Structure 1
Amino acid sequence: MKRNTRLIHNKAGSPGRRTVNPPIERASTVILPDRKALYSRKPGYGRMGLSVQRELEVALCELEGASDAHLTPSGLSACAVAVASVVKAGDKVLISDSIYGPSRRFCERRLARMGVGCERFDPRKIQALEARLSDDVAAIFLESPGSLTFEISDTPAIVAMAKARDIRTIMDNTWSAGVFCQPLSMGVDLSVQALTKYVVGHADAFGGAITVKDKAIAKEVAELTDDWGISLGPEEAYAALRGTRTLITRLKQHETSALQIATWLDQQETVSQVIHPALPSHPDHALWSRDFSGSSGLFAFLVEAETDAEIDAFIDGLELFKLGFSWGGYESLIIPCDEQLTRLPEDWTQSRTGRLMRVHVGLEDADDLIEDLHRGFDALDRKKILDL
Structure 2
Amino acid sequence: MTKEKHTKQTKIITSGRNKDWNKGVVNTPVYRASTVLFDTLDEMYNAVKNGSENKLAYGRRGTPTQFALQEAIAELEGGHATALYPSGAAAISCALLSFLSAGDHLLMVDSVYEPTRHFCETILKDFGVETTYYDPMIGSAIGTLIQPNTKILFLESPGSLTMEVQDVPTLCKIAHQYNILTFLDNTWASPINCRPFELGIDVSIQAATKYIVGHSDVMMGTATTTETLWPQLKARSYALGQCVSPDDAYLAHRGLRTLAVRMNQHERSASEVATWLQKRPEVDHIRHPAFESCPGHEFFKRDFSASNGLFSFVLTGVSKTQLKHFVEGMTLFKMGFSWGGYESLIIPAFNLSKIRSATPWPKNSFVVRLHIGLEDPRDLIADLEAAFSRL
Under a length normalisation based on structure 2, what TM-score does the superposition of the two structures give? 0.91
Superposed CA offset, 1:339-362 (max 9, x none): 3552445626226x5321110000
1:83–1:200 CA distance, 2 compared to 1 (3 A):
same
Q: CA separation in 1, counterparts of 2:210 and 2:195?
A: 17
Question: Please, which of 143, 146, 151 is the counterpart of residue 130 of structure 1?
Answer: 143
3-state SS, counterpart of residue 325 of structure 1: coil
Under a length normalisation based on structure 1, what TM-score does the superposition of the two structures give? 0.92
Q: Which residue of 2 aligns with 1:294?
A: 306
Q: Which residue of 1 aligns with 2:30?
A: 24
1:28–1:305 CA distance, 2 compared to 1 (3 A):
farther
Letter of the structure 1 residue corresponding to residue 34 of structure 2: S
Matches within 5 A, 1:142-153: 142-153=155-166
5+ residue gaps in structure 1? 10-16, 381-388
- Report if aligned partners of 1:317, 1:375 keep a CA contact under 8 Å in 2: no
Q: Which residue of 1 aligns with 2:248?
A: 236
Q: CA separation in 2, counterparts of 1:230 and 1:175?
A: 23
- My pick for the range that moved more, 307-316 or 141-150, is 307-316
Superposed CA offset, 1:56-111 (max 9, x none): 01110111011111111110111111211111111110100011110111122111
Q: Which residue of 2 aligns with 1:248?
A: 260
3-state SS, counterpart of residue 351 of structure 2: helix
Across the aligned residues of Structure 1 and Structure 2, the Cα RMSD in angstroms comes to: 1.7
Matched, 1:64 2:77: yes
Q: Which residue of 2 aligns with 1:33?
A: 39
1:341–1:220 CA distance, 2 compared to 1 (3 A):
farther
- Report if aligned partners of 2:134, 2:358 keep a CA contact under 8 Å in 1: no
How many residues align structurally? 371
Q: CA separation in 1, counterparts of 2:158 and 2:251?
A: 26
- My pick for the range that moved more, 166-175 or 84-93, is 84-93
Matches within 5 A, 1:124-273: 124-213=137-226, 215-273=227-285
Matches within 5 A, 1:266-285: 266-285=278-297
Shift of 1:303: 2.4
Q: CA separation in 2, counterparts of 1:107 and 1:196?
A: 22
- Report if aligned partners of 1:271, 1:302 keep a CA contact under 8 Å in 2: yes
Shift of 1:25: 1.6
Q: Which residue of 2 aligns with 1:13?
A: none
Q: Which residue of 2 aligns with 1:386?
A: none
1:305–1:43 CA distance, 2 compared to 1 (3 A):
farther
1:90–1:7 CA distance, 2 compared to 1 (3 A):
closer
Shift of 1:334: 0.2
Q: Which residue of 2 aligns with 1:370?
A: 381
Q: CA separation in 2, counterparts of 1:284 and 1:115?
A: 33
Q: Which residue of 1 aligns with 2:52?
A: none
Q: CA separation in 2, counterparts of 1:260 and 1:153?
A: 24
1:249–1:123 CA distance, 2 compared to 1 (3 A):
same
Matched, 1:342 2:348: no
- Report if aligned partners of 2:104, 2:150 keep a CA contact under 8 Å in 1: yes
Letter of the structure 1 residue corresponding to residue 390 of structure 2: A
1:211–1:346 CA distance, 2 compared to 1 (3 A):
closer
Shift of 1:188: 0.5
- Report if aligned partners of 1:297, 1:361 keep a CA contact under 8 Å in 2: yes
Q: CA separation in 2, counterparts of 1:85 and 1:142?
A: 17
1:182–1:333 CA distance, 2 compared to 1 (3 A):
same
3-state SS, counterpart of residue 171 of structure 1: strand
3-state SS, counterpart of residue 119 of structure 2: helix
- Report if aligned partners of 1:90, 1:116 keep a CA contact under 8 Å in 2: yes
3-state SS, counterpart of residue 354 of structure 2: coil
Shift of 1:7: 6.8
1:201–1:176 CA distance, 2 compared to 1 (3 A):
same
Question: Please, which of 315, 324, 334 is the counterpart of residue 303 of structure 1?
Answer: 315
Question: Please, which of 307, 323, 331 is the counterpart of residue 343 of structure 2?
Answer: 331
5+ residue gaps in structure 2? 1-11, 48-54
Q: CA separation in 1, counterparts of 2:185 and 2:357?
A: 24
Q: CA separation in 2, counterparts of 1:304 and 1:136?
A: 41
Q: CA separation in 2, counterparts of 1:82 and 1:165?
A: 20
Q: CA separation in 2, counterparts of 1:198 and 1:188?
A: 21
Q: Which residue of 2 aligns with 1:361?
A: 372
